[in-house]
Amino acid sequence: MANMKVNVCGVEFKNPVIGASGTFGFGKEFQHLYDLGKIGGISLKGLTLERREGNAPVRIAETPSGMINSVGLQNPGAKYFLEHDLPQIRKFDTVLIANINGNTEEEYCQIAELMSDSSVDMLELNISCPNVKCGGMAFGIKPESVYNITKAVKPYCKKPLIVKLSPNVSDIKENALAAEEGGADALSLINTLYGMAVDAKTMRPILANVKGGFSGPAVKPIALRMVHDCYSVVKVPIIGIGGITTGLDVVEFMLCGASAVQVGTANIMNPMAMPQIIDELQNYLTEMKIDDINSLVGALKI
Amino acid sequence: MIDLTFEIIKNEIMASDIFEMTLKTDKLPADIKAGQFANVKVPNRTDLILRRPFGIYSVNFDDNTIKLGYALRGQGTQALSILPAGTKVQVLLPLGNGFPAVEEGKKVLLVGGGIGVLPLLSVAQSFKNNVISSCIGFKDASLQMKVDEFKALSKECIVASDDGSLGEKGYVAQVLAKYIDQINPDVIFACGPEIMLKGLGEFAAKYPTYVSLEQRMGCGIGACLVCSCKTKKNDEEHYARVCADGPVFRFEEVFYG
């Protein structure tokens, strides 16, 4: 069997397939379907210091080969998570990444500190959520604000810090460099594209929040291009995200420079997506006679 | 819950724009309860990425078949409606909480409107130790479904239609008002359009009432948090997940204020 282990800024994953934040809850819902110890890691549902109710429904719209969501970071709050959810999910042998959010720089720092003192393995700074009024994407658009928030949060992180980048920017390379300069240990990209769906018959937007985050197989070409762009300019490892539904999709992202990937919408399409993707990935390596998955990273032939 | 491959045995029109699909698998999970639902992948359509949630209204453990009913609402249901027998479909089930168990001998009143009568049929079929009454309504006679089944399974069955072309003329709540005292149920289970459910307030004030809700859904298992509905419990409002906390809720939890 080929080696599937990858190492992202000092954290070892048994394979490069990680559940993407917001599509995998705190993992619990999937434990009845398969052994969570099979997957590389879980980027947990986005957390804020205080409980958040999220946006009014309707929160989801299907679009061709994609979907738009406007959940709005509904979560029980960091303290509740640490007391009630983390102990349950920690027992699984998989890397846990806390996806952290705030309305202000101070809140980001506080939650980074709180999560650093917990048993999670890594932090993912979410400065790219399009569904919240304050914070979220506002911190992630301009390279200087990416730099500032990363630099501000970094001293509070006793765990490796991943910065999750927004695709809704003029040049993602600049933002990637800004995050790296600010102290990011790794980057994850892309978060959802800012999109909209309209019902011609009712003449209304489908989402109550009007606009939302567009994801799914339809966004994969954009995500691949952006991973490729960022890989050409940064030294820190990249976690590729965007429309992955098969093992071959993972390979494509790794060839473009991703050291690992996150699987998001595919979990919603098919709850067995991640174990299936991992099996497909293993089969690909066997068929291609590749003995170490790490040899794929950035190996795109141009 | 488990994700299983099923084969379509039958897929046919049941009422105007409403279809029923009979699906067979090798071994059905044993724990399917009345009022639970299944999340169905539309086969061979990579553009339609989300599964479609349909109530499981009939289960047969002897031949490992289930029946799902669905209304033509959009591209997904349209695509499903033309699938021939023999087609394989991927189905995640059973999902949601289903209707609560009721003590033996107690009287259960089923109140349904339109396609919402189907999940209630599963109650009528499986709550064998309860006395079942039903009040089911349709827009008009062309949209009626399973009326004979409800009549056969209920001690009394009241049928209504908005235009009077079937049974009594009037909305379900209006028609039911005439009979409710006589039925005097121990519990009411309801499913139907939101406007119909909201109209059950006066009955819910007197009898414990449970309603089964619909919402646009994602994963179906409670992870993605898109199918929310606002609920109130112990004076606290919060968004519940229709797929995992529901689809069955206490009336006063979801219709208040």
Q: What's A109's domain CATH number?
A: 3.20.20.70
Query: Which residues in chain A have Cβ-Cβ distances shorter than 8 Å to B237?
Result: 53
**pLDDT score of A136:** 66
Q: How far apart are CA A122 and CA A11, in angstroms?
A: 8
Are B219 and A65 an interchain contact pair (Cβ–Cβ within 8 Å)?
A: no
Active-site residue flag, A129:
yes
Taking residues A25-48, what's their average pLDDT?
97
CATH code of the region B215-257: 2.10.240.10
Q: Can you tell me whether residue B9 is helix, strand or coil?
A: strand
Which CATH entry fits the domain spanning B2-95: 3.30.460.10, 3.10.20.600, 3.20.20.70, 2.40.30.10?
A: 2.40.30.10
CA–CA distance, A123 with A111 (Å, rounded to integer): 10
Q: Domain residue spans in chain B?
A: 2-95, 99-212, 215-257
Q: Which domain holds residue A104?
A: 6-56+74-193+216-296
Residue A204 lies in a domain: no
Closest CA to B18 of B82, B57, B69, B68: B69
What is the average per-residue pLDDT within A65-89? 97
Paired tokens of A123 = 């932090």
Does the residue A203 lie in any domain? no
- Cβ neighbours of A33 in B, within 8 Å: 1-3, 221
**Portion of chain A with pLDDT greater than 90, in percent:** 96
Tens of pLDDT, residues A96-123: 999 999 999 999 999 999 999 999 999 9
> Do residues A206 and A190 lie in contact, with contact meaning Cβ atoms separated by under 8 Å?
no
Of 3.30.1370.30, 3.40.50.80, 2.60.40.1110, 2.60.260.20, the CATH number of B99-212 is: 3.40.50.80
Q: What is the spatial distance between Cα A163 and Cα A192, in angstroms, rounded to a whole number?
A: 14
Higher-pLDDT residue of A131 and A176 is A176
Average pLDDT value over all residues in chain A: 96
pLDDT at residue B30, as a whole number: 94
Interior angle at CA A45, CA A43 and CA A50, nearest 5: 130
Q: Does B50 touch chain A (CB under 8 A)?
A: yes
What interface predicted TM-score (ipTM) does this complex get?
Answer: 0.94
Q: What is the total residue count of chain A?
A: 302
In a domain, A63, yes or no: no
Contact B51 A269 (CB under 8 A): yes
Q: Is A196 strand, coil or helix? A: strand
In angstroms, the Cα distances linking B236 to A55, B239, B242, B255 are 17, 10, 17, 14
Domain annotation covers residue A291: yes
Angle subtended by helix axes A247-255 and A273-287, to nearest 10: 60
Cβ atoms of residues B81 and B19 within 8 Å: yes
- Per annotation, catalytic residue among A9, A109, A129, A134: A129
How many structural domains compose chain A? Answer: 1
Cα–Cα distance measured from residue B23 to residue B85, given in angstroms and rounded to the nearest whole number: 9
The Cα B48–Cα A215 span in angstroms is 13
DSSP assignment string, A82-109: IIIIHHHHHTSSSEEEEEE--SSHHHHH
Q: Which two tokens stand for residue A115?
A: 């999560």
Which residues are CB-contacts of A289 (< 8 A; sequence separation ≥ 6)? none
**Cis-peptide, bond into residue A237, ω within 30° of zero:** no
When pLDDT is cut at 50, 70 and 90, the band that residue A132 belongs to is: confident
Helices (H), ranges, chain B: 75-81, 117-126, 147-153, 172-183, 194-198, 201-206, 251-254
pLDDT at position A280, please? 98
Distance between CA atoms of residues B145 and A279, nearest Å: 45
Residues of chain B predicted below pLDDT 50: none
What digits encode the pLDDT tens for the residues B10-58? 999 999 999 999 999 999 999 999 999 999 999 999 999 999 999 999 9
